[in-house]
Amino acid sequence: MQNIAVIGAGTMGNGIAHMFAQSGFKVQLIDISETSLKRGLETIAKNLDRMVTKEKISKAEKTITLNNISSYTNLKEGVKNTDLVVEAATENVDLKLTIFKQLDEICAPDTVLATNTSSISITEIAGVTSRPDKVIGMHFMNPVPIMKLVEVIRGYSTSDGITKTIMELSKTLGKVPVEVNDYPGFVANRILMPMLNESIETLYNGVAGVEEIDTVLKLGMAHPMGPLQLADFIGLDVCLSILNVMYEGFKNPKYAPCPLLVNMVRAGKLGVKSGEGFYDYSESRKAEKVSDQFLK
């Protein structure tokens, strides 16, 4: 695999594009919004500048990485001649099914189709294509350039060969791939999201305040970031979406989202991305302080 298409220039998409390009792959970054593409490329450049400052890469390596990326707003043009497509669009099942139907029609028969979904069934996504054996999950962690883990999720029909290929490909990116099976939430979010939800319930029930809850987890359980701060960083809308997927998938009330989380999302309090969640990020330096904890 040499030519990689990444769909979505948001936080996850630009991070995935960054990693592939820095590892020497040719990357075609695709988004329907020219503004999003521009913002995504600017983010990649800023992250590379930070790496140059920290002497993790040279200025020449930064230039090569940026030259490995081309951008497209047209899906058909963007996926042309690619060996692998990684979809990193919004965590919405209908949107992902639509994208994969289109990809199946326009991509070469041997192109592997991967999704960065953090909770949606790989088997369901594969079911709208004529190549379910070549559909797989590649769940990168945020921020992608820093976090080592990639959950490699096999759908019901994903072939052994494709799974092995994606496991090895992940290693070439400097990541540690872990193979898991296709159940709601996979491993990472099946364990993480109930913990975040329980932390929100603890706040909702008045057991303790935001900073107190986060302090207990940071100092008592050695978490680098408190659960409420982490929820803000992930995006409360994303947390709600994942919990809803698990609740629908398992029909178990333990995955039901806390009413406080539901109301905050309805009110547009989504965390860092909206400027307010469990913490106030109205000043840009406050939002940067959260992400910088991962970049030391």
Q: What is the model's pTM?
A: 0.88
**Same-domain status, 227 and 280:** yes
CA atoms of 249 and 220, how far apart (whole Å) = 32
Q: Report residue 295's pLDDT band, with 50, 70 and 90 as the boundaries.
A: very low
> In terms of pLDDT, which residue wins out, 255 or 296?
255
- 3 as an active site residue: the answer is no
Write down the pLDDT at residue 288.
47
Does 9 appear as a known binding residue?
Answer: yes
Range of the domain at 229: 188-291
Does 220 appear as a known binding residue?
Answer: no
**Same-domain status, 162 and 214:** no
Q: Is it the case that residue 289 has pLDDT exceeding 80?
A: no
Q: What percent of the chain has pLDDT over 70?
A: 95
**Same-domain status, 151 and 197:** no
Provide the CATH number for the domain around residue 15: 3.40.50.720
- Token pair of 160, please? 């052994």
Catalytic one among 116, 151, 197, 241? 151
Write down the pLDDT at residue 285.
52
Please say which residue of 131, 149, 181 terminates a domain.
181
In this structure, is residue 296 part of a structural domain? no
CA atoms of 245 and 242, how far apart (whole Å) = 5
**Same-domain status, 32 and 176:** yes
Does 118 appear as a known binding residue?
Answer: yes
- 157 as an active site residue: the answer is no
| Total count of domains within the chain | 2
In this structure, is residue 44 part of a structural domain? yes
**Same-domain status, 166 and 195:** no
- 151 as an active site residue: the answer is yes
- 33 as an active site residue: the answer is no
Does 11 appear as a known binding residue?
Answer: yes
**Same-domain status, 8 and 63:** yes
Catalytic one among 71, 121, 189, 199? 189
Does 10 appear as a known binding residue?
Answer: yes
Q: Once rounded to an integer, what is the mean pLDDT over residues 238-256? A: 94
Q: What is the DSSP string of 10-41?
A: SHHHHHHHHHHHHTT-EEEEE-S-HHHHHHHH
153-196 pLDDT per residue, tens:
999 999 999 999 999 999 999 999 999 999 999 999 999 999 99
Phi, psi (5° rounding) for residue 180?
-135, 165
Write down the pLDDT at residue 215.
97
Q: Could you give the 3-state DSSP secondary structure of residue 204?
A: helix
Q: Report residue 296's pLDDT band, with 50, 70 and 90 as the boundaries.
A: very low
